[in-house]
Amino acid sequence: MMKTPFVTKAQIEEIVKTYPTPFHIYDEKGIRENARKLKQAFAWNKGYKEYFAVKATPNPTILKILKEEGCGTDCSSYTELLMSEKMGITGSDIMFSSNDTPAEEFVLAKKLGANINLDDYTHVQFLKDTCGVPETVFCRYNPGGTFSISTTIMDNPGDAKYGMTKEQLFKAYTELRDAGAKKFGLHSFLASNTVTNDYYPTLAKILFEVAVELKEKTGIKLSYINLSGGVGIPYTPDKEGNDILKIGEGVHKVFDEVLVPAGLGDISLFTELGRFMLAPYGHLVTKAIHEKHIYKEYIGVDACAVNLMRPAMYGAYHHITVLGKENAPCDHTYDVTGSLCENNDKFAIDRKLPKIDMGDYLVIHDTGAHGFAMGYNYNGKLKSAELLLCEDGSIKQIRRAETPEDYFATLDGFWDVEV
């Protein structure tokens, strides 16, 4: 099974004349088409909105594209709030979902008019003391235990640091109402990167039932329910991806079964997708620069875990295409490695690939989310450029590569030291 890159060898050979490898490149056409399909899936819900998870791909150009497609932003930090503001995304177009939140972040979120999503019951008083309670406020729910679909356990909310118990949740809403809040939202995130059309409908049923119970016990009617993220992508080529239209239909069915009869049919639904929105529409492009023949066969590339941390961090699979050899037999077994002084700096282990020659360009797939964003500077390595393959086929640099001057910029007086 194969994945097809959205760039060709000829395109990359032209691009590297201006922008040397490694770099991340994003597909504008794919991003826009996917955003429109998501919007179509939830068009039945009058107030539906997608809040793109900025942490997945924190690039202003990406935010601008998604803004044009009707998306807001899901921010989790001060700098993400600033980036949203700079791109003209403010007010209720921002969802501020944070945890262990510093006071200044709540202050900025309130100043921007963002939807503030409280992670813990104690944050109610913290918010009061910090900047006051806004008219619209969200609370995050953690049902505890394990979360499963059929017999497959997807995640373990009971071990997660996020959200409130139901008892705390109801208490928080009551206190927020007493403090002047007028509109309320409910948020929850129970599983990461699910590849099943059942996740959102299952989560929705849990949250919808909480909404009904909240109304019955406190008289508080929710205005919004945020299904958060968790809808993922198939990283391996043998898996079938999610069908967002079927997912939307599944949520619609539960909405009609649970909320409508309870008089809550006017609740607006929100999502906070990152991986689903961007991952398949980003590639890390790197060049084979070394080969090593010892106890195993190694191919060394000019990218490393600094450019894509997921394989090193938790053994994540990312498909690899050797450009120009898409139809060649995968009759060689390689570890594809970067140059960090860590043995886990491997993009692939025992991977069947075509014969790789020095100078070949490799496309590492599905890096459009949690790729560049998780970069760091270990070993003094520098972050790569980010490029956009525009809809008209042109290439635009949307973030330049770091330089040594960037790396040393926070060291006061570094360049003034005499040796």
The residues assigned a catalytic role are: 341
If one counts every other C-beta atom within 10 angstroms of the C-beta of residue 240, the result is: 8
Do β-strands 23-27 and 282-293 pair in parallel, antiparallel, or remain unpaired? antiparallel
- Measured in whole angstroms, the distance separating CA 310 from the mean position of its chain's CA atoms is 13
For 17, 113, 161, 397, the CA distances from 20, given in Å and listed in that order, are: 7, 41, 41, 12
Sole residue written with tokens 């503030």: 116
d(C-alpha 68, C-alpha 62), whole Å: 10
| Rg from Cα positions in the chain | 23
If one counts every other C-beta atom within 10 angstroms of the C-beta of residue 118, the result is: 28
d(C-alpha 53, C-alpha 42), whole Å: 18
Enumerate residues 6+ apart whose C-beta is below 8 A from 418. none
Binning the chain into helix, strand and coil, the percentages to the nearest 5 are: 35, 25, 40
- Side chain identity at 47, as an amino acid letter? G
The DSSP secondary structure of 47-73, one letter per residue, reads: T-EEEEEGGGS--HHHHHHHHHTT-EE
d(C-alpha 120, C-alpha 134), whole Å: 16
Q: What secondary structure letter does DSSP report for 147?
A: E
